[in-house]
Amino acid sequence: MAPSDGDVCVIIPTIREYECLRAYLENAREHGFDTDRLHVVLVTEDFCETAAMERMLDEEGVSGEVFDGTRRETWFDRHGAGEYAHLVPAASHAQTSFGLLYLWANDFEYGVFIDDDTLPHPAFDFFGRHLRNLQYEGPMEAVRSDERWVNVLYQNVDEHGLYPRGYPYSAMDETVETDRIEVDDVVASQGLWTNVPDLDAVRILMDGDLDGQAQTRTSAGDFEGDFVAADGQYLTVCSMNLAFRREIVPAFYQLPMDDNPWDVGRFDDIWSGVFLKRACDVLGKQIYNGYPLCEHNKAPRSTFSDLTNEVHGLELNEHVWEIVDGVGDGASTYAGVFEAMGRELAAGDFGDYENGAFLNYVGEHMLEWLDCLETLDATDSARASVTGLGDD
């Protein structure tokens, strides 16, 4: 189905629980959110139930498309960008990058990432709250620490002791300070999560859980309101419950995880969040955190399997933010900041780190990401000028 006249592209990477979408649409209807604003992109694989996914979209009466691997290749070729298909890794959560390209090519104003193992909290107007967050201007709590990292679970950390996936181990035991600032240009809204916390495998093991979940759980009472990370501070950005403005796409590539020679995985949204926060600091933008909550129902799986995916990048995660910190000063666009960070990584000597060459690989892909966006712009402009029609 071609994109509707809606302004919100909902991107769901899924190989199993795609019917979570029904709960989000029901939440929208219960809260009076106009579902005609939504266009759903399900990013999946050739071995998955694409026909059943399409039937679900029809049954729900919502605009949308399903893209398995074959359909993604066709889409790239149709848009004159076949040489960039490798930017979307196979069988990886980082396939959300395809959703970003689709959003970009079709001029959606907003994007929403939803993971298929989540459900909306009934108390929150999920889509409405995210979009109001993106429009918010006014006072808000700003958080900082002496380690220059903000634990997004800081509000009740004395009780649960949790640090989220991607938070550097060297930044733990930080001293937290809060202040009130005026927020005036929100470009991303990160909703947090109850039930299974988003932890890395090492922290899950430390919590005594071998099933990939964690014994310690979060509840709505662990979250006390909304906040931003102060200027110059970094934070983990998890894509399971996230809304954003179109403008950030050049600086929000989800990175070539899993399908790479070093087997580095699980840091796609984490590192993209680091790069986005750096771009936001340069450009004077903010990332809103807190509500709406979602319920994270991560399925049991081997904690050691997650550890296998993460261990190859754990040392790099301790340093990648330091490498890009300060890079891009003076740039006036997201693409400008992202290009500066990409060049820094592509040309750097990271031989002192385990799998340091992966950072060069990431930098090269970041630069190709910007080239891909330019190609989409040129191809779609040419098509529109010849046919007088918009993109499909």
d(CA 330, CA 317): 26
Q: Could you tell me the pLDDT band of residue 4, with boundaries at 50, 70 and 90? A: low
Burial of 157 (0-12, 13-18, 19+ CB in 10 A): middle
Question: Tell me, what's the pLDDT at 392?
Answer: 47
Q: How confident is the model at residue 106 (pLDDT cuts 50, 70, 90)?
A: very high
Q: Where are the domains of the chain?
A: 8-387
Whole-model pTM: value is 0.95
Q: Is the pLDDT of residue 207 over 90?
A: yes
pLDDT score, position 391: 47
Q: What is the pLDDT of residues 262-315, one digit of tens each?
A: 999 999 999 999 999 999 999 999 999 999 999 999 999 999 999 999 999 999
Of the pLDDT bands very low, low, confident and very high (cuts 50, 70, 90), residue 173 is very high
Q: Which two tokens stand for residue 31?
A: 């809260």
Q: Which residue has the tokens 């419950």?
A: 241
Flag whether pLDDT at 61 surpasses 70. Answer: yes
Tens of pLDDT along 220-251?
999 999 999 999 999 999 999 999 999 999 99
Q: Do 235 and 271 meet the contact criterion of CB atoms below 8 Å apart?
A: no
Closest CA to 192 of 275, 296, 97, 297: 296
Question: What pLDDT digit, counting tens, does each position of 40-57 carry?
Answer: 999 999 999 999 999 999
